[in-house]
Amino acid sequence: MTPYVQSVFTTALIYSLVTMGLYITLASGQFSIAHGMLMGIGGYAGGIASVQFRVPMILSLMVGAFTAALFGVVMALVLRRTSGVLLATVTIAIGQGVSLTAANLNSLGGSQGYFGIPLTTNLAWASGTALVGLVGLLVFRKTRLGLAMLAAGRDETVAQSIGISILKIRIWGFLLGGLLAGLGGVLLAHNNGLIEPSDLSFANEPLFFIFLMVGGLETPWGALFGSIGVWWLQELLRFGNSGQFLIFDQADRYWILGLVMVITVIVRPQGILTRKPIVWNPTRRSFQLLGVLGLFRGRRSDNTS
Amino acid sequence: MDDPKSARGVMDFVGVSRTALEVTSLSVNYGAIRAVQDVSLDVPRQGITALVGANGAGKSSILRALAGIVPECHGSIKLNGVDVSKLPARKRVIDHGIVLVPEGRGVFTTMTVRENLELGLLIGDRRRALGATTTFDLEEVYNLFPILRERGDKRAQYLSGGEQQMLAISRSLLMSPALLLVDEPSMGLAPQLVRRIFDVMSNVFAQHKVTVLLVEQDTKIALEIASFAYLLERGVISLAAPSAVLREDPRLKIAYLGVASTILSGDASDNNRGNR
Amino acid sequence: MTYFTQFLIDGLAIGSLYVLVTIGFTLVFGVMGLLNVAHADLYMVAVFVFLGVAQDLHFGIVLGAIAGIAAAGLVGALLFWQVIRRIDRNRTLSMFVATLGVSYFLENLVAKFVQFRTEAVPPLFQSKFYDVSNLHFSTGQIVLVGSTLIIAVGLSQWLRRSNTGKLMRAVSENTHLAELVAIDTVRIMAIAVILASVIAGIGGLLVANTTLSVNPFVANDVSLKMFAVAVVAGVGSVDGALVVGLFLGMIESLTVGYFGSQWETVIGLGAMIIVLLVRPQGLFGKRLRVG
């Protein structure tokens, strides 16, 4: 593997951890979308641990994951009376607010970011951590608590009626989401050598959602494959610059990802790689796709208008 | 249990030929659960027809299907000879005047009483432009329920349950209905209030020749104001007769107790399961 | 005291921006329960289209402004008919992800055309600067605050008095019941989205007229304040958004003036969290209600 290929895989695996965090929070029915912020908090905490206290990487990872998880739990407790779309709104605002505040805190390096972090992350660390995260999630899904969380994610009222505590589910959803995002953040900080306020920003959130949408929202595998797949896609789009095999240049890749995201959510709201078998009906699908692009008004089976 | 077709036979026997609504083999499904199975019924023009039955028999589902707001239903629904079963809810209201007074508090609680009535009038005006015959104006409604005039500028959430029910019925009348579907008007109301609302309903509906299909759990009062009634059991019509006849039928009481006992023994859901 | 008043005046201008983006956002949220992340982007789209038409294509300020506002409305309409309508209304997550994708798409598409740079914006009109007993203000600021008041109060009155406004409030309170009384809920939702987009577009032009710059990713910062104002005021409350937006602008301006800029975002966030703890429906909220 060339260093370039290694670095692309490393970054993709780092993001896959954050996306797994997003997956488990959403799967537990908690509409929280501050994973960019949780990632950044993990990154800052891990980075500070490495720089100030010169702790080994494994300890940095723990510190980062713990801090982000703690922050997640605090959020869950503070926002326990808020849910649904309003919770989403509030978590976005908190993420954005924390990012802007970090930019103004000189002790954290201000808008320049916190730098001088040792470049410890490599493909081994990234794949090892991602593997731990993935296996952890797969095992967790089989536990009593994991099953209860997935049940609550499908139908909160029903879950409540069979004695599942929604507050407990929420705390665990935020905690695990913070844990995984925090791990990703520490790896990211040790990959780039610095962590910036913009890493905390909501501006990163679309990326994780693209990974998750493309990968599928049903299993942790979706988060992993989605991250790797989409990250490679945008890397390939980057070469468009040379005009060799794509008509786009590299500035185009972001809006293309946005478009991919919108089309995915319309055509296949459960994500592309899900356990649900893909029933390919060529005419219907392609009409729908054309419809998305505004070229054709596809038939819809609703009776409201 | 009688054959559903026999319901129509009874109607002919009674001599009611002028049918407003003609429902043939209507089925309603909620996912895998079949709430209404192969129901056929007629509603005569300008009269009150009652649909009675125990809790969960599928009465409300029938009304919702007629109004066009259930996710999945099959069968034909003809109003004055026109099949409306494929039309969306909005078209059924505007073009055909099928108006549902929903179960519970069917009012906009954050809007004032007058605004609630105005919403009815907006549709009523369109219906009149299309040549609707049953027409009400605000003054008539206020005369029926003077309390609504008094409370005109109050938000509907500050009305009592009975007043909210009056408001919902008034709004529906202002929509110039050709067929009024009334779902459980007595729900959650004090008995004296139920009596009053039913008195007013039967007077107004008779005076203005409104065609009504009434769903009611309180069989006694429903059969008093209705001229014809259907008994629904577990999604199937089991009896159809003039109210006076049905009132005396012993099967009416058994229907209520019978359903209750099958629910208790737990086989009701098996019987209602559709064949998907 | 002069400083204090000066901060208040500046705060009113900032608050006007918050109000102009929030009223549209809160209207759409109230009517259809949609968290439209792309809403603040329409503000940016309007300014860039204005910039392109007025400056690059030399069509002049007036045509540019009309084109900018029209573009915001058009993007809103496309967002509604081509994206939101194609998604099951009960899938809140999908709806959110779709608007997130649209937001990402719009920002990066515009950014590509301007090479990811902040652009200078020509003023709509030549602003006069006044200096009354050491207080500085400009006609641009006066026009901004004045228009904000007119638009917000106008929208609120329109919701209260017009027929469409009443229908909109009905849909907002109870979509199922609205369908039973034969309200064309889809049409009402479309009107709400397009109206909100146009207001965001107007807001963009008025604010750019005082800041004289715009960057493709401005929505990220504006969104934070927009969410905070909407949540504190109570989602769906246009009047509330007006009061809270102006108030937040003034408080922020005072805080930055006296304590430094690191505290700017803390105010909005703190207010939002306290309100959520004490009164989750917001200061002016009566559950989901528009008006």
Q: Is A303 on the interface with B (CB under 8 A)?
A: yes
| pLDDT score, position A131 | 94
Cβ within 8 Å, pair C180-B123: no
| pLDDT score, position C24 | 94
Cβ count near C122 (within 10 Å): 13
Distance from CA of B129 to the nearest CA of C (A): 15
In this predicted structure, the answer to whether residue A219 has a pLDDT above a threshold of 80 is: yes
Pick A281 or C219 by higher pLDDT. Answer: C219
| pLDDT score, position B275 | 37
Sheet holding B228-233, edge to edge: B98-101, B179-183, B212-216, B48-52, B228-233, B236-242
Q: What secondary structure does DSSP assign to C180-221, as a single string?
A: HTT--HHHHHHHHHHHHHHHHHHHHHHHHHHH-EE-TTHHHH
In this predicted structure, the answer to whether residue A298 has a pLDDT above a threshold of 80 is: no
**A134 alpha carbon, distance to own chain's centre:** 13
| pLDDT score, position A241 | 53
**Which chain B residues are Cβ-neighbours of A301 within 8 angstroms?**
none
Measured in degrees and rounded to the nearest 5, phi and psi for residue A157 equal -65, -45
Sorted by where each starts, the structural domains of chain B and their CATH numbers stand as 1-95+215-276 (3.40.50.300)
| pLDDT score, position C133 | 79
Please tell me the distance from the alpha carbon of residue C61 to that of residue C39, in angstroms, as a whole number. 24
**Which chain C residues are Cβ-neighbours of A291 within 8 angstroms?**
82, 86
Preferred mutation among C93, C94, C267 to probe A, highest tally of A CBs within 10 A: C93
Subunits that touch chain B (at least 3 Cβ pairs < 8 angstroms)?
A, C
| pLDDT score, position A277 | 43
Cβ within 8 Å, pair C93-A31: yes
Pick C289 or A139 by higher pLDDT. Answer: A139
Mean pLDDT of A136-159: 85
| pLDDT score, position A10 | 92
Cβ within 8 Å, pair C231-A93: yes
Q: Is A301 on the interface with B (CB under 8 A)?
A: no
| pLDDT score, position B107 | 92
Mean pLDDT of B28-44: 84
Place of tokens 């993709």: A12
Mean pLDDT of A241-265: 74
Cβ-Cβ contacts under 8 Å between A and B: the total is: 8
Nearest to C180 among B102, B109, B111 (CB): B102
Residues of chain B above pLDDT 90, percent: 14
* pLDDT (tens digit per residue) in C71-103: 999 999 999 999 999 888 778 888 889 999 999
Q: How confident is the model at residue B3 (pLDDT cuts 50, 70, 90)?
A: very low
What ipTM did this prediction achieve? 0.86
In this predicted structure, the answer to whether residue B146 has a pLDDT above a threshold of 50 is: yes
HSE of B193, CA atoms in CB hemisphere, 13 A: 14
Nearest to C180 among B100, B109, B115 (CB): B100
Cβ within 8 Å, pair A81-C98: no
Q: Which residues contact C115 (CB under 8 A, 6 or more apart)?
A: A251
Structure tokens at B190: 């004090």
| pLDDT score, position A285 | 46
Pick B255 or C267 by higher pLDDT. Answer: C267
* pLDDT (tens digit per residue) in B52-89: 887 777 888 889 899 988 888 888 898 888 888 888 88
* pLDDT (tens digit per residue) in B183-209: 988 888 888 888 888 888 888 888 888
Please tell me the distance from the alpha carbon of residue C243 to that of residue C142, in angstroms, as a whole number. 17
Please tell me the distance from the alpha carbon of residue B218 to that of residue B54, in angstroms, as a whole number. 9
Measured in degrees and rounded to the nearest 5, phi and psi for residue B65 equal -65, -40
What integer best gives the mean pLDDT of chain B? 81
- CA distances for A236 relative to B212, B225, C57, angstroms: 67, 75, 34
**Could you tell me which chain B residue has the CA closest to the CA of A304?**
B88
| pLDDT score, position A246 | 53
Sorted by where each starts, the structural domains of chain C and their CATH numbers stand as 2-125+137-278 (1.10.3470)
Q: Is A52 on the interface with B (CB under 8 A)?
A: no
Distance from CA of C129 to the nearest CA of A (A): 31
Q: Is the dihedral of CA B161, B166, B167, B172 positive or negative?
A: positive
**Which chain C residues are Cβ-neighbours of B108 within 8 angstroms?**
169-170, 173-174, 177
Cβ within 8 Å, pair A303-B90: no
Pick C84 or A152 by higher pLDDT. Answer: C84
Distance from CA of C198 to the nearest CA of A (A): 21
Distance from CA of B69 to the nearest CA of A (A): 9
Cβ within 8 Å, pair B89-A305: no
Preferred mutation among B118, B119, B153, B179 to probe C, highest tally of C CBs within 10 A: B119
Please tell me the distance from the alpha carbon of residue C202 to that of residue C192, in angstroms, as a whole number. 15
| pLDDT score, position B258 | 53
Q: Which residues contact B72 (CB under 8 A, 6 or more apart)?
A: B28, B29, B30
Give the containing element (helix H, strand E) for C282: none
Question: Which segments of chain C have a pLDDT < 50?
Answer: 288-291
Q: Is A305 on the interface with B (CB under 8 A)?
A: yes
Whether the Cβ atoms of residue C79 and residue C17 lie closer than 8 Å to each other? no
Measured in degrees and rounded to the nearest 5, phi and psi for residue B243 equal -50, -45
| pLDDT score, position B101 | 92
Give the containing element (helix H, strand E) for A304: none
**Which chain A residues are Cβ-neighbours of B68 within 8 angstroms?**
303
Q: How confident is the model at residue B257 (pLDDT cuts 50, 70, 90)?
A: low
Pairing outcome for strands C119-120 and B236-242: unpaired
* pLDDT (tens digit per residue) in A48-88: 999 999 889 999 999 999 999 999 999 999 888 888 888 88
